Structure 1
């Protein structure tokens, strides 16, 4: 919770008809107790911040894997625009998981386009190195969906 958020909560509390308010948050550990007699009690345990943290972008992961062994990597791309689904139906097991061995012609996912479920099949034998799209997310034509490490 940011300091500005705490100030907003205090401001809203002061304008309200409430006489007491207590907020507890487990992660990061935080507790604040307010009462209308204008006393503010609080205990903040500061969690160390990671300096210069930058999440890894999928483009960086793809580039890293391609450079690692260019000849052993195959990228499977979306042949159409639509919505990416890892499983045949909600609640069902996904077609594949990272680390699974896949054969040419095996269904990897479904891309739904205009209410039509299009099965996307592997065009190579290999091991699924990475799944690059989250379930239920839109995909573009030519968007990279899977990184397959080819059998040597």
Structure 2
């Protein structure tokens, strides 16, 4: 213990409980909340589950203890590469799901906004509202382009570049996959 009477992290051996900061202590008592190594391992498993399934938030309650874990996904943009197509394909070659999610080959130099999660794509904040953006609209970096709903959580997808929307690649109220292209933005266009 240090001079203020609180436990320090020094000398902590295996099997001893982990002391959470006082910010996590229940408001009704001044006692510190302790986690056993098993409980800490369970919390880590919940965090791993959150990441593996690309969830933004997970909440669980057991025996009067509620744990909420939240992760803000990083929205990444990618520049599309030119894709060469072979015209003499055999009839047995079908379209693969990966080929269906690629943007068209004429997107060289454009910014592709992709879905950071699996969910349902919405172009407007509500069914009777106007869409956030239309093809041909000029957008600013950080401007909301759409919503992807996952497990009743509405995730606003923002533009990563200034420019003009050249193509909307997803259909409103339809499911989208992780990494699926949603919008093409021409960063060289000027209003």
Please indicate, yes or no, whether the TM-score normalized by the shorter chain is above 0.5.
yes
| Displacement after TM superposition at 1:61 (Å) | 8.9
Q: What is the match of residue 146 of structure 1? A: 183
Distance, in Å, in 1 between the alignment partners of 2:113 and 2:144 is 12
Residues 117/99 of structure 1: CA separation in 2 closer, same or farther (3 Å cut):
same
Distance, in Å, in 2 between the alignment partners of 1:64 and 1:102 is 23
Distance, in Å, in 2 between the alignment partners of 1:137 and 1:114 is 14
Distance, in Å, in 1 between the alignment partners of 2:152 and 2:102 is 32
| Displacement after TM superposition at 1:65 (Å) | 1.9
CA offsets per residue over residues 53-95 of structure 1, 9 Å max, x none?
xxxxx959933322xxx23x11000000000000001110000
Distance, in Å, in 2 between the alignment partners of 1:62 and 1:114 is 27
| Displacement after TM superposition at 1:151 (Å) | 2.1
- 1:89 counterpart = 2:126: yes
User: What's the TM-score once normalised by structure 1's chain length?
Assistant: 0.56
Distance, in Å, in 1 between the alignment partners of 2:148 and 2:101 is 24
Q: What is the match of residue 46 of structure 1? A: none
RMSD of aligned Cα (Å): 2.0
Q: Could you say what secondary structure the match of 1:65 adopts?
A: helix
Number of residue pairs matched by the alignment: 91
Query: Where does the alignment leave 5 or more consecutive residues of structure 2 unmatched?
Result: 1-98
Contact 2:113–2:159 (8 Å) recurs in 1: yes
User: What's the TM-score once normalised by structure 2's chain length?
Assistant: 0.45
Higher relative contact order (CA 8 A, sep 6+): 1
Distance, in Å, in 2 between the alignment partners of 1:59 and 1:116 is 26
* Superposition misfits of 4+ residues, deviation over 6 angstroms: none
How does 1:3-152 map onto structure 2 within 5 Å? 62-66=103-107, 70-71=108-109, 73-151=110-188
CA offsets per residue over residues 84-121 of structure 1, 9 Å max, x none?
00000111000000000000000000000000000000
Q: Could you say what secondary structure the match of 1:62 adopts?
A: coil
Distance, in Å, in 2 between the alignment partners of 1:104 and 1:60 is 24
